[in-house]
Amino acid sequence: MEVLGRLLALLAVLLVGTALRTTGVLDAGRTAKLNALAYYVALPALIFVSTYDQAIAELLSPALIGGLLFVVFLTAGIAWLIHRNRSSSARSSVAIVQSYHSNLGYLGLPLVAATFDARVTAIASVVLGVVTLTQVPLTIIVLSTFNGTDVAIGDKLLGLAKNPVFVSLIAGLSVGTIGVSIPPAIGSGLNVVGSLALPLALLCVGAALQIEASTLDVGAVSSVVALKIACMPLLAWLVFSALEVGTATFTAAIVMLGTPTAVSTYVFAAELGGDRKFASLNVFVTTVASIGTLFVLITLVG
């Protein structure tokens, strides 16, 4: 019941964000500032405090990397088979990428940190890094190929390498591997800042969600939901069970890959010719539906 209560509280904060946008409290400017606070301050702090006392060899393993890549590409392949012939290339491309592109930073890692111990959270930070480095380039390639848009992939990848998520992950793993001691006061302060990542992120996600009846395609939306929050974690369960990884690795991988579609897919769709309204709808539906599926996953692995 504690897990269910926590997830319902997350849903409440998400809906508060939507309500604040609807009433004009969280306008575009305020939402951008809140998003910057979450992305450039709170989330990097959470990643650093999760990894600075862990050696990289204790967190990163061939089984973890191989399993994550296999699940991401297998889910993407299934999504391509199902969605490749939608009514338009703009809709097909969005349906494909939103079936595998997970909300690891704004929901996955903060949720793991609030629910599990430090070991699981540290591995979840590594999962965030590995999967993001995979799914972002894949999403850019899928959208640009389907929609015939020109994109400088090299510039996108360079920007990805410079983002605060990877900088804080590399910094934390480096400190942990070298064995540098972090003063308790600094560690405590970063913990407080990191604890703000989840509520701030949920408010931002809620403020970004929009629904228009004209975009409702029950078949396409249902397929995206089924692939993202049911098929993908199920594949992860089967793959990591076969790999016989440790309990902490198994837990982190399953919960992180069971998260809903990332809000960033809406941004990518807007930039690369995808169906933006359809993308927004899928983000909303997968996020709300994932409250139930994440409860089941956390209960099973908890």
Please provide the size of the chain in residues. 302
Cα dihedral sign, 100-105-111-112: positive
pLDDT tens-place string over residues 198-240:
788 778 777 776 666 565 678 889 999 999 999 999 999 999 9
Confidence (pLDDT) at 191: 81
- Overall average pLDDT of the 178-202 stretch: 80
Confidence (pLDDT) at 213: 59
Q: What is the DSSP letter of 102?
A: B
For the chain, the domain total comes to 1
Mean pLDDT, the chain, integer: 85
Looking up residue 117, the CATH number of its domain turns out to be: 1.20.1530.20
pLDDT tens-place string over residues 249-261:
999 999 999 999 9
| CB neighbour list of residue 115: distance below 8 Å, 6 or more residues apart | 3, 6, 255, 298, 302
Q: What is the pTM of this model?
A: 0.85
Q: Render 14-44 in DSSP notation, one character per residue.
A: HHHHHHHHHTTSS-HHHHHHHHHHIIIIIHH
Confidence (pLDDT) at 237: 97
Closest CA to 150 of 57, 240, 271: 271
pLDDT tens-place string over residues 97-152:
999 999 998 888 888 988 898 899 999 999 998 998 899 889 988 998 898 777 66
- Across 23-27, 109-113, 181-185, the highest mean pLDDT is recorded for 109-113
Of 7-21, 145-159, 167-181, give the lowest mean pLDDT range. 145-159
The two three-digit tokens of residue 143, written as one number: 């959208």
The two three-digit tokens of residue 183, written as one number: 């003063």
> Structural domain of residue 216, as residue ranges?
2-301
Closest CA to 67 of 260, 256, 265, 261: 256
**Distance set, CA 18 to CA 15, 180, 281, 284 (Å):** 5, 42, 13, 10
Longest dimension (CA), the chain: 57
Q: Is the pLDDT of residue 247 over 60?
A: yes
- Across 48-52, 74-78, 213-217, the highest mean pLDDT is recorded for 74-78
Whose structure tokens read 């297998």?
74
